[in-house]
């Protein structure tokens, strides 16, 4: 059996293979209420039927103005739980596991009248000027992350991913380029993330792993480097993160020399470095569409899991096709067996 096709266990979670659907906003909520609809039901269920091991439901925000746009998902009230449960129950029917990416867009909340963030500088010249959160409001947001995580658990997730990457709120706090506060959340760049992790862990069942997506480096001139993100990951690991999903960039501003080229596997070296420095399992992501490349990432020990994004938008059966190529047989639902 291929490495990609082998099961993976982390605490109480066992995946049937190492293939993860990367979180991808669908910008498809019609009623601006943040609840998954029939689009999400079909979209995520299709990838479960398509053989994926773990499906990470797109960036789902802890308050309405924490969304990138008003067409994004949210978990800011108990009323949201049944709509998520409907999607997750269906994902489970086809042998896949489900996660929700819990997030806040911070200064990148495009539809918020006044976005909030650790500091009052916009992420690009013509973006809305954010308002710097008071210390008390930061603590309130920590609690909102925990409330959203509790609701995700009620909706039936097998794990949760915190979005600490791509220039969204947690990333904004741990970036020296963005966070210029002089309170406890500015003096310690990891503090906001650590407090969110601790609060979220309290509402997770003890055997449920917690994942976190992180930008390993910033691209902007003067942005943080891998040494900085490794220190963050060590603090986040000590606070309770069980797996890092390693991405990069997204903080805004023109890209400088640290931006990797657009080549297959461009973020894999970051994943390996964070795995080695923290001793925590990692997920690699970014242009891993070729199943042989994805297989080598797991086989060479660069990462434990491989997340596939855009290739799964093109092909819901990416996982079935990849494992068929690598292992010579297709594991499909009974209804589709004659197709192979
Ligand atoms: C349409 C779209 C929406 C995305 N939304 C999210 C998101 O909600 N959360 C996130 O962490 N990354 C998001 N991403 C980034 C992907 O998860 C992934 O990291 C990126 O596309 C690189 O992987 P790929 O080369 O396999 O596509 C999005 C990407 C796309 C194309």
Structure tokens at 49: 């039927």
User: Do residues 240 and 231 touch, judged by C-beta distance below 8 A?
Assistant: no
Classify strands 8-10 and 13-15 as parallel, antiparallel or unpaired: antiparallel
Give the position of tokens 């924490």. Answer: 66
Q: Would you say the CB of residue 101 lies under 6 angstroms from ligand 1?
A: yes
- pLDDT tens, position by position, 13-36: 999 999 999 999 999 987 679 999
Return the ligand 1 atom nearest residue 307 CA. Answer: 26
- Check residue 253 and give its pLDDT: 86
pLDDT at 126 over 80: yes
For the CA of 166, the nearest atom of ligand 1? 11
| Sequence ranges of the domains in the chain | 8-291+307-331
pLDDT for the residue numbered 31: 60
CA–CA dist 104, 172 (Å, integer): 10
Residue 172: phi and psi, rounded to 5, are -60, -40
Alpha carbon distance 108, 252 (integer Å): 9
Angle 81-93/135-154 helices, nearest 10 degrees?
40
Best residue among 19, 20, 24, 260 to mutate for probing ligand 1's pocket (most ligand atoms within 8 Å of CB) is: 24
Residue whose pair of structure tokens reads 């500088």 in the numeric block? 121
Among the four given CATH numbers 1.10.645.10, 3.20.20.70, 3.40.50.1370, 3.40.50.300, the one describing domain 8-291+307-331 = 3.20.20.70
Q: From the CB of 58, is ligand 1 less than 6 Å away?
A: yes
What is the pLDDT, as a whole number, of residue 257? Answer: 87
State the pTM of this model: 0.98
Q: pLDDT tens digit string along 53-90?
A: 999 999 999 999 999 999 999 999 999 999 999 999 99
Q: pLDDT tens digit string along 231-279?
A: 999 999 999 999 999 999 999 988 998 999 999 999 999 999 999 999 9
Helix (H, G, I), strand (E, B) or coil at 224: coil
Express each pLDDT in 177-199 by its tens digit. 999 999 999 999 999 999 999 99
pLDDT at residue 192 in the model: 98
């Amino acid at each position: 059996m291929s490495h990609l096709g082998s099961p993976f266990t982390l605490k109480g979670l066992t995946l049937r293979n190492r293939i993860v659907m990367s979180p991808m906003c669908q910008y498809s909520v019609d009623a601006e209420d943040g609840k998954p609809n029939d689009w999400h039901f079909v979209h995520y269920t299709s990838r479960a039927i398509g053989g994926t091991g773990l499906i990470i439901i797109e960036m789902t925000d802890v308050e309405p103005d924490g969304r990138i746009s008003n067409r994004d998902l949210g978990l800011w009230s108990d009323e949201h739980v049944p709509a998520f449960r409907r999607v997750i129950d269906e994902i489970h029917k086809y042998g896949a596991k489900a996660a929700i990416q819990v997030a806040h867009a911070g200064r990148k909340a495009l539809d918020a009248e006044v976005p909030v963030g650790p500091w009052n500088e916009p992420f690009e010249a013509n973006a809305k000027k954010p308002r710097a959160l008071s210390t008390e409001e930061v603590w309130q947001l920590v609690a909102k992350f925990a409330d959203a995580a509790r609701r995700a658990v009620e909706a039936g997730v097998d794990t949760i991913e915190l979005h600490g990457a791509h220039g969204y709120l947690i990333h904004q706090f741990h970036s020296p380029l963005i966070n210029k506060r002089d309170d406890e959340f500015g003096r310690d760049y990891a503090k906001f993330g650590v407090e969110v992790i601790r609060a979220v862990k309290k509402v997770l069942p003890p055997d449920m792993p917690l994942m976190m997506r992180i930008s390993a480096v910033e691209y902007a001139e003067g942005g943080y480097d891998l040494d900085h993100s490794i220190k963050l990951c060590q603090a986040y690991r000590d606070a309770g993160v069980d797996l890092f999903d390693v991405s990069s960039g997204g903080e805004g501003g023109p890209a400088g020399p640290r931006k990797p080229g657009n080549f297959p596997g461009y973020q894999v070296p970051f994943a390996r470095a964070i795995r080695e420095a923290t001793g925590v399992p990692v997920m690699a992501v970014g242009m891993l569409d070729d199943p042989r490349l994805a297989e080598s990432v797991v086989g060479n020990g660069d990462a434990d899991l491989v997340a596939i994004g855009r290739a799964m938008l093109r092909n819901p059966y990416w996982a079935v096709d990849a494992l068929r190529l690598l292992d010579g047989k297709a594991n499909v639902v009974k209804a589709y067996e004659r197709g192979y």
